[in-house]
Amino acid sequence: MTGEHEPHDRTTGDRTTGEHPTGDRKTGDGTRAVRAGLPEPEAYAPALPGPAFAAHYHLPDGADLLQGPYTYGRDANPTWTGLERAISELESPDADAETVVFASGMGAISAVLLSQLGQGDAAVLPSDGYQLLAPLGERLRGYGIEVRTAPTGGDAQLSLLDGAPAADGGEPRPAKLLWIESPANPGLDVCDIRRLADAAHARGALVAVDNTLATPLGQRPLDLGADFSVASGTKALTGHGDVLLGYVTCRDPRLAASVRAWRKMAGGIPGPMEAWLAHRSLATLQLRVDRQAATALALAEALRDRPEVTGLRHPGLPTDPAHRLAAAQMRGGRFGCVVSFVLPDQEHAERFLAALRLVDDATSFGGVRSTAERRGRWGGDAVPDGFIRFSVGAEDPQDLIADVLRALDEARAPARGATGG
């Protein structure tokens, strides 16, 4: 059995109404996160069934392989099904949606771009988005796809949807796909998703939004007009720093099918254990997101008066350039767990990171343990040498802020062993 047939769509997340169990009102975000994707209660069965490890399934002669829910392990898995239904309920509680899960966020990103674009097409990407977008864009160019980039802030991508006249005087090539990342990582700029989506659709283009930083509790791109909501579940969605995962959610079944077919061909499937861990983690999503967003705002406020800190960004700060727009399109005052700022130089930033006691010097964000890094060490991001991306965890706010302020004080002092001139 080679698994050449697509599984029946009941494995990909069906109706997601968001109705309250009593039928009289909508469920809250916390209730939905706790209950999302769970099977109907069964006597003596676990509330969340354990991971299903299976490369193949019993397929008796005469079985309808086009309708069977599970035929081959690269197509579908019962553990994926629960997670995909859960994410659909969070991303699109008021309308039918389908989610396709992947082994990583880049697997999800690549699936959207490579399933929707072909030679001769044009795409608009953010110039300040996740750093692997740039090399992926170069690969797209190698496939004969025109890639245009502009910053997230100021809705600058809007100007690239129509394209410029060709060098030979031919007609401009309108974009086939617009890729948005808002808030952008790591600079935290925000764009007007609804405005950009409306403009793109008016030109016949599809719209994908990277929703990693916001999470579906902080922002619902499909409600704002996007065709794809894409995220790395490695970050805040799962929140424990122990799972690599990605997903794509669509309301158009045809788009979902094309992404699912790409997953099947490329083989970017998640392991059942990772999918189960991710589903388990959703139960605390609202608790984590609310706590981390509140602490991130408190940390940003504490950093405002530090003379060595410049370029402070957090969409929740009333003084942030993106605050007004973020407040209009992000949900429930959840502006994310990331704070970015700049220290005077690389050495100053490294002293600060070394002095932290409650914060891991690590890449990634969204976990329950706070992390921070000098982002410039990776290359690929247009940031100063002293740029810090700080991901707020679930520690007590007063403890975390005290640790940061103490580390800043220590970082200002001369290095140990230094002598006066």
Cα separation of 384 and 371, whole Å? Answer: 19
Nearest to 102 by CA among 249, 288, 291: 249
**How confident is the prediction for the chain on average, in pLDDT?**
91
Place of tokens 């392991």: 271
With 70 as the cut, is the pLDDT of residue 99 above it?
yes
Tell me the average pLDDT across 353-369. Answer: 96
pLDDT of amino acid 381: 77
Cα separation of 280 and 259, whole Å? Answer: 25
With 80 as the cut, is the pLDDT of residue 400 above it?
yes
Nearest to 9 by CA among 66, 88, 52: 66
With 50 as the cut, is the pLDDT of residue 88 above it?
yes
Report residue 251 as tokens.
């309301």
What is the domain partition of the chain in residue ranges?
9-282, 286-412
Give the H/E segment covering residue 131. Answer: none
From edge to edge, which strands make up the β-sheet containing 146-150? 98-102, 246-250, 228-232, 206-210, 177-181, 122-126, 146-150
Tell me the average pLDDT across 83-95. Answer: 98
pLDDT of amino acid 165: 67
Do domains 9-282 and 286-412 share one topology? The answer is no
Place of tokens 């502009």: 150
Tell me the average pLDDT across 350-366. Answer: 96
Beta strand residue intervals within 335-386, DSSP E: 338-342, 360-361, 371-374
Fold of 9-282: Aspartate Aminotransferase; domain 2 (3.40.640)
Phi, psi of 178 (to 5 degrees): -110, 125
Q: Do residues 111 and 139 lie in contact, with contact meaning Cβ atoms separated by under 8 Å?
A: no
pTM passes above 0.85 = yes
Tell me the average pLDDT across 394-407. Answer: 98
pLDDT of amino acid 198: 98
The dihedral through the CA atoms of 285, 233, 300, 317 has a sign that is: negative
Each residue of 203-215: pLDDT tens digit?
A: 999 999 999 999 9
- What is residue 261's three-state secondary structure? helix
pLDDT of amino acid 376: 80
DSSP bridge pairs for 206: 177
Share of the chain above pLDDT 90, in %: 83
Q: Do residues 183 and 322 lie in contact, with contact meaning Cβ atoms separated by under 8 Å?
A: yes
DSSP bridge pairs for 228: 208
Task: Give 51's DSSP letter.
Answer: P
Share of the chain above pLDDT 70, in %: 90
CATH 3.90.1150.10 fits 286-412, yes or no: yes
Q: Do residues 320 and 314 lie in contact, with contact meaning Cβ atoms separated by under 8 Å?
A: yes
Each residue of 247-277: pLDDT tens digit?
A: 999 999 999 999 999 999 999 999 999 999 9
pLDDT band at 62 (very low <50, low <70, confident <90, very high): confident
Query: Which of 2-16, 137-151, 182-196, 336-350 is predicted least confidently?
Result: 2-16
Q: Is 332 exposed, middle or buried (0-12, 13-18, 19+ CB in 10 A)?
A: middle
With 80 as the cut, is the pLDDT of residue 365 above it?
yes
pLDDT of amino acid 362: 92
With 80 as the cut, is the pLDDT of residue 7 above it?
no
Cα separation of 366 and 241, whole Å? Answer: 8
Query: Which of 31-40, 371-380, 387-396, 409-418 is predicted least confidently?
Result: 409-418
Q: Do residues 282 and 288 lie in contact, with contact meaning Cβ atoms separated by under 8 Å?
A: no
pLDDT of amino acid 107: 98
> For the chain, how are helix, strand and coil distributed in percent, rounded to 5?
35, 15, 50
Tell me the average pLDDT across 117-130. Answer: 96
Tell me the average pLDDT across 121-149. Answer: 96
Tell me the average pLDDT across 365-375. Answer: 96
pLDDT band at 308 (very low <50, low <70, confident <90, very high): very high
pLDDT of amino acid 416: 56
Provide the residue count of the chain: 421
Report residue 225 as tokens.
């007009």
Pair type for strands 387-391 and 228-232: unpaired
